[in-house]
Structure 1
Amino acid sequence: MECGIFHTPYMRPGRTDKETFEYSMMLAKAADSFGYRDFMVGEHGMQAWENIPNPELLIVAAAQVTERMRFAPMAHIVPLHNPSSLAVQVGYTSQLLQDRYFLGVGAGSWENEAVLRGQPGDLSEAHPRLLEGLEVMDKVWRRQPFTHEGQFYKAAWLEAGIEAGSVDHHDAFDLKDGEEYHALADHSPYGGADGLEIAITGLSAGSPSHVLAGQRGWTPVSFYGGSTLLRSQWDVYSAAVEARGDVPDGSRFKVARDVFVAKTDEEAKEQAKNGALGHAWSKYLMPVYKKYRILQGFIDDADVKVDINDVDLDYLADHVWLCGSPETVMAKIERTFEQTGFRYGQIAVNTHDALDDPAPWVESLRLFATEVVANIEVAGSKSPVHEFA
């Protein structure tokens, strides 16, 4: 099985951008040394707990201090961007990192992010803006003349550029043979528009994002919310893949989970509850997982059923988080395979703010890579853990 990092990140409000950046560099170096395949960086400009507005700045820096790990913005919220500018930014980063970069895209789920950009707070424009924005980005990457006038965006790629002297504030001038005034920069992705791996995130049951992934051959990424939710995403993804004449591959699914591993169940539970993971859930994630109806899915899967309002840290450690010794965490993962009906290829560990005491968190990352996923077989996965051993 593959292991990855989903670096939202869940930093405590009040952390400075510099603190978050330096903590991110430390985590990236550690994950790379342990054999993590992907380091995916969230994009949020308004959330105090998820405070990275420009993933590429972090990605390019982290790539310089790591050797093998791949990086991705996960995800660029396309509706919040000018798609032409985003296409150039993504292509440029892709060329810098080459095959260590892939692109994550999403429609967005935070109302305040949309309102800041002058869009409806009900997110009614999010999905149509995503589709139209991706259309413009693909046109930019192909570097062929086009004119786009859509519902939300206007863009054009001129075959020969703007004629000399045609702009009012420019004086007319003549070009001499050999001068390259019209030369256009090539910021298409490394390997071309068709060579860029694209991944898309989904939160909801039967997610339209996963339908899109199946239709276009993209990589599906899920926030695990119980077996029923993930199974519904797998079903719509599979149907879309089959509709275009291909065979669905469970190993392509990346599933984000909260993980904490220690030598014993008791040690893992106490460190998780009293550390970064427990703090984030107590202060932030409990209402988020209730809002998006994710928490109920874990309760439905658990042997012990409780009212959603009675969920506490002990219940989270036992039934929601992948928390425990390596053997216990392996058993929890295998159970999710049985409950969902397919074996997914990667678990991406959600990161949390252990800046004040990083050693237990880093050790958990090591144990998860070397003693958990390295011992779980998923056909088609490409875990680099064995290469590092």
Structure 2
Amino acid sequence: MVHPAPPSRRSVLRSGAALAALALLDGCSSSSDSGEEPGSTAAGSATATGAAPAVRAMPAESGPHTRTFMAWPALEEVWGDQLPGVRQDIAGLAQAVAGFEPVVLMARPDQADQARQACGSSVEVLDLMVDDLWARDTGPTFVTGPQGLTGIDLNFNGWGNKQTHTNDSQVARTLLDHYGIPRVQAPITGEGGGIEVDGDGTLMATESSWVNDNRNPGKTREQIEAAFKELFGVEKVLWFKGVAGQDITDCHIDALARFADPGTVVLHRPAADTPPDIWTTASDQALQVLRTATDAKGRSLRIVELHEPDATLIEGHGKDFLATYLNYYVVNGGVIVPRFGDQVADDRAAAVLADLHPGRKVTQVSINHIAAGGGGIHCATQQQPAIRS
């Protein structure tokens, strides 16, 4: 598995203004300046004071979407001379998603016209202050319940204070306010890319990105799991060890294991002949967990291995490059899949994902500039589930 050495994925500010990373553990700060208690429901919620909390559920990504949220990368000090290419990739990705469902791209007011010109009329651009493009992590994570749609604010803190996030820490709140969607502030800190659900009661996560003092100091795995169950309405959590301190996310689950449907997990595997390292070990450990695990409904799991491309065939491959097909995105009627330039591996991954999502059109998108920053398609998108009336 080709992965960066620290600091990596979405590299810390080159200007020297980066925040110092906190101490990391193997295996989490629910702080906020909002004035609200973590776990509280923001104004506008229908939850009555003193009433029992409504049962929430996080729909599977494969369910119907109202729209997809994305963000326009804002800071040259983060991306340096990669910024034009990254913006080109984001525009292409937004257009691809817009072929299946509405896209709302958040952009700073002084950059919104540039984003509109790059993306075209098929993409709605929303003036909103952002720092970077990672809408999966900075935006709200949506759940449903008896009172409709709610956004969970996971208190984004720059992946453990590794990158500037003055504006991105407010994206979830601001976006939910704009659409009039009730907001719940989580009692834990993390990112949307750090969880994966099957929509049928099971959630997957890595310990390295949650049970970590840079996000949730003093909290145990059991406490974080209890929060997952309350926030996302899941019954069972499958934990993987992950890798702490080697990429900016501390090994998010959405680059390691994904649910294709309840009972089926797609697992990232190294390319052939990859020498053993911490990343191959993480994949091997996840494989062992999945082989013996059952989901919330007691099903044994079908494991589909998806191998990464040959790094020598990828243009622009470097130390920060995230070469995984696991970071795909399921949209209404389609699946958006990365294309890296290894034609054999690209086509094989597209075929596997087409088989796993029958009836959906697979669209391959070149994202090598985004991947060079250590991210992917899933990292750059966040779905708003459609609520059936």
Q: Verify same fold: TM over 0.5.
A: no
Give the TM-score normalised by the residue count of structure 2.
0.30
Greater strand content: 2
Larger RCO: 1 or 2 (CA < 8 Å, sep 6+): 2
Greater helix content: 1
